[in-house]
Amino acid sequence: MKISTLSIGDELLFGEVVDTNASRIAARLYDEGIKVQRHLLVGDDLFAIIDTLHYLAEGSDVLIVTGGLGPTGDDLTAEAAAAATGQSLVLNEEALARMVECVGREGGEFMAASRRQALLPAVCTLIVNPTGTASGFIVTRNRCHLIFLPGVPSEMIRMLDETVLPFIGERLVKKVAIRTKVFTLLGIAEAEMDRIMADLPDPAAGLSVAYRVRFPTIDLKLRGEGDSEAAVAALLGGGTATVRARLGEFIIAEDGATLDDEVARLLRDTGVTVSLAESCTGGLIAKRLTDVAGSSAYFLEGNVVYSNGAKSRLLGVPQETLREHGAVSAEVAVAMAQGGRRAAGSTVALAVTGVAGPGASEEKPAGMVFIALADEEGCQVREYSFRGDRRQVRSLTAYTALDWLRRYLMTR
C-alpha cells in the first residue's frame, strides 16, 4: 500500500511552528508495518493545496492530510478537498451537531461564524473528533482515499489511532511485520559506532541499522522486517545480542527510556539516597533527577555553589583547599562531595566543578571538569576534558555525572 502525507499551513511553511504531525503519523504507521512513501508541506493557498492533492493522490492509495480545518478564513482544506474531488461544499449536520456539543461541554458559547467549520464535501465519511470542534473526513479521488485530520497534534493523534489506522488496516492486502529496537549510547562518536557495527546490517534478511544524534547521546536503531512477528523477533534478537556485545559499555538506556529513567529506577530498586553539589552545571543535574516523578523518595537535596564562600559555608570546603588548589580542582570536588553527603545524610553524593566557559585560562581551559562521588567507603574523583560551547560542556558534565551514578548503582 502506497501512503503519502501532506501538512497544510503557512505557520509550518514559514518555520513558525514545527511540523510534528508528519513524524508522528509516519512513526505510528511504521509501528503497524506500513511505510510512508513521501511527505509534502504546502501553505494556506487554495490553488496550491488543490494542485498538491491532485499530485499526491495520483501515486497513492491513501493520502493523510493534516491542518486547515479551523473556522477562520485561511482554513481552506475542506474547500480544496471538495474542488479536488469535483464536489460542492455543504453544511454537514452531524459535524455541526458535534461542534455545538463540544463547545457546550467546554462551557463556551457557540458562535454563528463557527458554522463555517461544518462546511464539508457533499459526499464524505465523517471522522469523529472526540476532543475538538473540527471533524475529520474521508473522500476519494479515483482509487485514492484522502483522509483529512485537524492540525492540533493531540486531536490528530487520537483520531489517527481510533479511526484512521483501523480504516487502513482493513484495506491492507499483506501486512509486513516491522519492529524497532532502540539503544541510547553515551561516550562514543557516531563514526566510531558505525565502524564497529559496519557488518551488522543485513538488507537481504530484513535487518537495517540507523543512527540519530541527540547531543550528547546517540540512538542506534535496529529495524527488522519480515513476514511474521516470530521471524522479526528472531532477527532483532540476534542483532540485539551483537550490539550489546560490542557496545555494551556505552549503552545507557534502551527502547525509549532515558538516562534519567534508568537512574531513577536503580535508585528506587536499591534504596540509595543521593545529594548533589553543583558548580559549573548550575542545578542541571538536580533538574534531571527531579524531572522524573517520585524523585522525592531518593533525592534529598542539592546545593548550587558557584562562589568560594558558598562552597565553604554550605559544604564545609576548607578555605585553605580553595586557596591552594583553586575552585576547579580534584581536591575541591572531593571536599564538595564529602561535605554534601555529610550535610544531607545521603547514601551517596555527587559533586561537579569545572570551567564551562568563558573564564578559561591556559592552566584550566574551558571544558576542564572534575566530578566526585562520595559514599560510606570514601570518595572518588575523575577529571574530564570536554569539547564544545558552554551549553554543551554543561550538558556533557550532567550526563557524565549521572552515568557514573548509574554504573555505581548497578554494583549495589
Sorting pLDDT into bands at 50, 70 and 90, what band is 174?
Answer: low
**In the chain, which segments carry CATH 3.30.70.2860?**
177-254
DSSP string of 166-194, one letter each residue: HHHHTT-SSPPEEEEEEEEEESS-HHHHH
**CA pair distance 35, 4, nearest whole angstrom:** 9
**CA pair distance 355, 367, nearest whole angstrom:** 6
**CA pair distance 167, 306, nearest whole angstrom:** 58
Return the top range by mean pLDDT from 100-104, 222-226, 289-293. Answer: 289-293
**In the chain, which segments carry CATH 3.40.980.10?**
3-169
Asked if pLDDT for residue 175 goes beyond 70, the answer is no
Spell out a b/e string for 278-310, using b for 16 or more CB atoms within 10 Å of the CB, else e.
bbbbeebbbebbbebeebeebbbbbbbbeebee
Q: What does the pLDDT average to over 22-32?
A: 91
Nearest alpha carbon to residue 369 among 309, 280, 282: 280
Q: Out of 98-102, 160-164, 365-369, 387-391, which region has the weakest mean confidence (pLDDT)? A: 98-102
Each residue of 389-401: pLDDT tens digit?
A: 999 999 999 999 9
State the CATH architecture for 177-254: 2-Layer Sandwich (3.30)
Q: Which CATH superfamily is domain 3-169 in?
A: MoaB/Mog-like domain (3.40.980.10)
Q: Which three cell numbers stand for residue 36?
A: 510512508
Q: Which three cell numbers stand for residue 104?
A: 457546550
CATH of 259-410, one of 3.10.20.30, 3.90.950.20, 3.40.50.720, 3.90.1150.10: 3.90.950.20
* 144-149/62-66 β-pairing: parallel
pTM over cut 0.85: no
Each residue of 80-136: pLDDT tens digit?
A: 999 999 999 999 999 999 988 888 777 766 676 578 899 999 999 999 999 898 999
Asked if pLDDT for residue 190 goes beyond 70, the answer is yes
Q: Which three cell numbers stand for residue 384?
A: 574530564
